[in-house]
Structure 1
């Protein structure tokens, strides 16, 4: 029974988890707007969601392709352990759920200090992601209400 409820809510859980991670990445971009040589990052949400749903887990997603989102290119840096007793870590450029972090390519020339954060773009992406997060919460809430109604026999 619990497995069926989990399966019914898996899409919303995965989407909310990825939206929350993307919000953190965008907030980090905004926080580092004045940091010299900081490169703006983003997550290809559609690719990460498709990978997570294909894998069947919130915590494992495949690397997204750079061609899926214009203006983003992938970077894959793997960590190497110098001792077998060291903990295995996630590669650099990967979020907690395994979604690939991509660099945002700016359409205009970057700052003279090498920073590629465009505050207008970041604020727009931040607000859009927040709105979509709220919509996902609303959808999940409605889904839970309908399941509860079915369980109660109403």
Structure 2
């Protein structure tokens, strides 16, 4: 039922949330030797979430990819802090936009149920 009410936006919110965690992990491990930065391919992950019943907590294994660094470090860490911070900020804006849309949709449904 939620899928019909919220369309692709509920699944998108789930993927953006999971991506936020992956990007935060990259930033937190920026100085960890041999840490390999990862990211989530949004389209692949969205398809995975939409294809699974319930969608929440969907396995995104195939959508999680290792980042190829433009300037690898000597200790084997592939996190490039500026890249990760930019991706995190962009994802946060997209997450907030999706959340605002869903909140508006919930408001419409609530008003309709109240007969306003």
Q: TM-score, normalised by structure 2?
A: 0.87
Larger Rg, first or second structure (1 or 2): 1
Equivalent residues in 2 for 1:70-85, closer than 5 Å: none
Q: CA deviation at 1:57?
A: 3.4
**Residue 98 (structure 1) aligned with residue 95 (structure 2):** no
Q: CA deviation at 1:150?
A: 1.6
Q: TM-score, normalised by structure 1?
A: 0.67
Structure with greater proportional helix content: 2
Following TM superposition, the consecutive aligned residue runs of length 4 or more in structure 1 with deviations greater than 4 angstroms are: none
| CA RMSD of superposed structures (Å) | 1.7
Q: Count the aligned residue pairs.
A: 114
Verify the 8 A CA contact 2:48 2:58 in the aligned structure 1.
no
Deviations 1:15-55 (A, max 9, x none): 22211111011000001000111110111112211232244
Runs of 5+ consecutive residues of structure 1 not aligned to the other structure? 60-95
